[in-house]
Amino acid sequence: MSRDNKHHQQSFARKAPPKKENIETTQKNEIKAMFMNWFKSSRSVAGDIMTKQDVISAILKKLDSKQDRPFQIAMDELKNDGLIELKEDGVTVVLTQKGAEKL
């Protein structure tokens, strides 16, 4: 009986990350999808840009202030995965060849 109980506790600890992290991850993934869907719906090809105004109207206006961090993480991951690049202004998003292939 104690063995079952011990297993249950380990299982619970592993499956229950802090709720905030879980929500953040979900939001981050949704935001990444919003970027890629915008490019997809615009029939974008490598080198196409998403301007600051596009980012605001297509993504930021749909988020609340609590989603600033997931937004930043989503941008960083898309950039680190090589799907987008950022212009010098840090806001203008450029679709890469790798990103275009994922659409």
**For position 93, which CATH number holds?**
1.10.10.10
Give the chain's domain count.
1
pLDDT of residue 22: 87
Res. 10: pLDDT tops 60: no
pTM summary value: 0.78
Q: Per the domain annotation, does 72 fall within a domain?
A: yes
> Each residue of 37-94: pLDDT tens digit?
999 999 999 999 999 999 999 999 999 999 999 999 999 999 999 999 999 998 899 9
Q: Per the domain annotation, does 38 fall within a domain?
A: yes
Cα dist. 65→13, 43, 47, 81, 95 in Å? 30, 30, 30, 25, 26
Q: Per the domain annotation, does 76 fall within a domain?
A: yes
d(C-alpha 73, C-alpha 82), whole Å: 14
Q: Per the domain annotation, does 45 fall within a domain?
A: yes
Coil vs helix vs strand at 85: strand
Other Cβ atoms closer than 10 A to 38: 18
pLDDT of residue 19: 60
Q: Per the domain annotation, does 11 fall within a domain?
A: no
Q: Per the domain annotation, does 6 fall within a domain?
A: no
Q: Per the domain annotation, does 4 fall within a domain?
A: no
d(C-alpha 100, C-alpha 84), whole Å: 9
Q: Residue 82: which region, alpha, beta or left (left: phi > 0; alpha: psi -120 to 50)?
A: left
Domain hosting 41: range is 19-102
d(C-alpha 30, C-alpha 13), whole Å: 26
Q: Per the domain annotation, does 46 fall within a domain?
A: yes
